[in-house]
């Protein structure tokens, strides 16, 4: 009975930690997206880069990776964005193995 209780408590703690870390406003903040859209429409790419550098969200890091490779061709930009997106996706999978075995 105690091992089941222990595993349940550990699983609940991991679940709550993941919910806290993966809040939408930390991954894709709405105000950040609106500012990026506004600057892109006005072709102020330097401001978008500065905005991405000052934001700690996952989407900002993905945008920044694409902007860093902007002059290298569409396929390299696409590859850089996909690679960074994959790496950012691993953040959401942290502790997933522990829950699978609980």
Note whether residue 14 is domain-resident. Answer: no
Instruction: Indicate whether 39 belongs to any domain.
Output: yes
13 within some domain:
no
CA distance 55 to 32: 8
Asked whether residue 99 is domain-assigned, the answer is no
Domain boundaries, position 90: 25-94
pTM for the model: 0.67
Mean pLDDT of the chain: 81
Of the candidate ranges 24-28, 52-56, 63-67, 84-88, the one whose mean pLDDT is the lowest:
24-28
Tell me whether residue 34 is in a domain. Answer: yes
Percent of the chain whose pLDDT exceeds 70:
81
DSSP at 71 = G
Is 20 a domain residue?
Answer: no
Q: Give domain status of residue 101, yes or no.
A: no
Question: What is the tally of structural domains in the chain?
Answer: 1
Q: What is the pLDDT of residues 38-71, one digit of tens each?
A: 888 888 888 888 988 988 888 898 989 988 888 8
Identify whether the C-beta of residue 95 lies closer than 8 Å to the C-beta of residue 77: no
- Would the pLDDT of 99 be above 60? no
């Amino acid at each position: 009975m105690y091992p089941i209780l222990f595993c349940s408590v550990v699983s609940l703690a991991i679940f709550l930690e993941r919910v806290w870390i993966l809040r939408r406003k930390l991954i894709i903040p709405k105000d950040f997206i609106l500012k990026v859209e506004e600057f892109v429409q006005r072709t102020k790419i330097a401001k978008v880069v500065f905005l991405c550098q000052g934001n700690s969200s996952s989407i900002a890091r993905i945008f920044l990776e694409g902007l860093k490779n902007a002059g290298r061709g569409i396929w390299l930009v696409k590859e850089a964005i996909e690679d960074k997106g994959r790496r950012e996706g691993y953040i959401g999978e942290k502790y997933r193995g522990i829950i699978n075995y609980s």
